[in-house]
Amino acid sequence: MSAAIEAEGLTKTFGGDVLALNGVGFTVEEGTVLGLLGPNGAGKTTTVRVLTTTLIPDSGRARVNGLDVVKDANKVRSSIGLAGQYAAVDANLTGRENLRMVGQLFQLSRKDASRVADELLEHFNLTEAANRPSKTYSGGMRRRLDIAAALVVRPPVLFLDEPTTGLDPNSRTAVWQVVEDLVENGTTVLLTTQYLEEADRLADNIVVVDRGAVIAEGTPATLKSTLGETVLDLGFPDTSTALEASQLFLGKWPAPPVLDGSILELPIDTGPSQVMLALRKLDEAGLAPTSMTLREPSLDDVFLSLTGRRTDLDEDQ
């Protein structure tokens, strides 16, 4: 398998002192999905802007479809699709008119632009709404139209910057199905997302960035395995009690405990005996939990352990 996207040592500074990218590097193999995760301001969108040629890095190099994103910027742009965080369709044009316009901007003939528009409208289940102004579309429909517009020229690589932000669960699921269909047909996808469930479902590989640097990389299963086979959630009356309880396990537990408000999360590797050990420690310290739950680790647990914060992300640099 060859690489569709390659990034190496990317750096970018804004305003002379804001380091948005600090040596970012990763590879995305053809026909796979890379999930790019990170807290607000981590550098996800900056990375996408560099890879899609709308921003020049200060140093480092990147190639998309074998083309240098700086030296071959025009060729890169003609071989990729991009759907940003907000739908970029013209609200006053119909769905069909939007797609035809994009096709003609890419110098397709009127006939070919119409044919491609109709094919995409059918594929994205928008045929019935094709002749309505897109301002009458629901959020999910506008998002699907936006992704369709990014696919007018059949790009081998598609960049999706938080493609389902603000959508209801049904619309989000519909977009996920679209992405899965594209990948099944050979498209390479890089997506940034604030939904760990989304990355877990769609991504073959995940890169976590924080403060402009890559801090973890691997498959969803590999990342979750770093936390052990099970997570023990212990609830306490307040955050100060949970913090006091966490001190009992710092440096004395196979993996670091994680605090989430008044919930103490303990990775468990050895089953019931380790649970009993944790409860004995708490009992001896007079810190009885008010609730206890055992569950499988999630990507959100990984994210919290790596960055110290949950994934309630907003648009970043």
Can you give the three-state secondary structure of 67-114, one letter per residue? EECCCCHHHHHCCEEEECCCCCCCCCCEHHHHHHHHHHHCCCCHHHHH
Which pLDDT score is estimated for 173? 86
Q: Residue range 75-82: average pLDDT?
A: 92
Q: What percent of the chain has pLDDT over 90?
A: 58
DSSP 8-class letter at 162: S
Tell me the fold of 228-296: Alpha-Beta Plaits (3.30.70)
In tens, the pLDDT along 32-62 reads 999 998 877 889 999 999 999 999 999 999 9
φ, ψ for residue 54, nearest 5 deg: -90, -5
Q: Where are the alpha helices (DSSP H) in the chain?
A: 44-51, 73-77, 95-105, 110-123, 139-150, 169-184, 196-202, 220-225, 239-247, 272-284, 299-307
- Chain position carrying tokens 């969108």: 45
Q: Give Cα separations from 53 to 63, 82, 222 (angstroms).
A: 10, 11, 31
Q: Residue range 99-103: average pLDDT?
A: 94
CATH class of the domain comprising 3-223:
alpha beta
Taking the C-alpha atoms of residue 173 and residue 146, their distance in angstroms, rounded to an integer, is 16
Per the CB < 8 A criterion, the answer to whether 93 and 101 are in contact is yes
Taking the C-alpha atoms of residue 233 and residue 147, their distance in angstroms, rounded to an integer, is 39
Q: Residue range 205-211: average pLDDT?
A: 92
φ, ψ for residue 213, nearest 5 deg: -130, 150
Closest among 254, 248, 34, 243 to 159, alpha carbons compared: 34
Taking the C-alpha atoms of residue 229 and residue 199, their distance in angstroms, rounded to an integer, is 20
Q: Residues of CATH 3.30.70 domain(s) within the chain?
A: 228-296
φ, ψ for residue 111, nearest 5 deg: -65, -45
Q: Residues of CATH 3.40.50.300 domain(s) within the chain?
A: 3-223
Taking the C-alpha atoms of residue 168 and residue 301, their distance in angstroms, rounded to an integer, is 23
Looking at the predicted structure, is the pLDDT value of residue 161 above 80?
yes
Which pLDDT score is estimated for 40? 77
20's tokens: 């948005």
Taking the C-alpha atoms of residue 145 and residue 291, their distance in angstroms, rounded to an integer, is 46
Taking the C-alpha atoms of residue 230 and residue 223, their distance in angstroms, rounded to an integer, is 13
Which amino acid is present at 147? Answer: I
Taking the C-alpha atoms of residue 124 and residue 147, their distance in angstroms, rounded to an integer, is 9
Per the CB < 8 A criterion, the answer to whether 265 and 232 are in contact is yes
End-to-end CA distance of the chain: 32
Which pLDDT score is estimated for 317? 42
Which pLDDT score is estimated for 60? 97
Looking at the predicted structure, is the pLDDT value of residue 313 above 50?
no
Closest among 61, 57, 80 to 9, alpha carbons compared: 61
Which pLDDT score is estimated for 309? 62
Which pLDDT score is estimated for 224? 79
Per the CB < 8 A criterion, the answer to whether 1 and 29 are in contact is yes
Which amino acid is present at 266? Answer: L
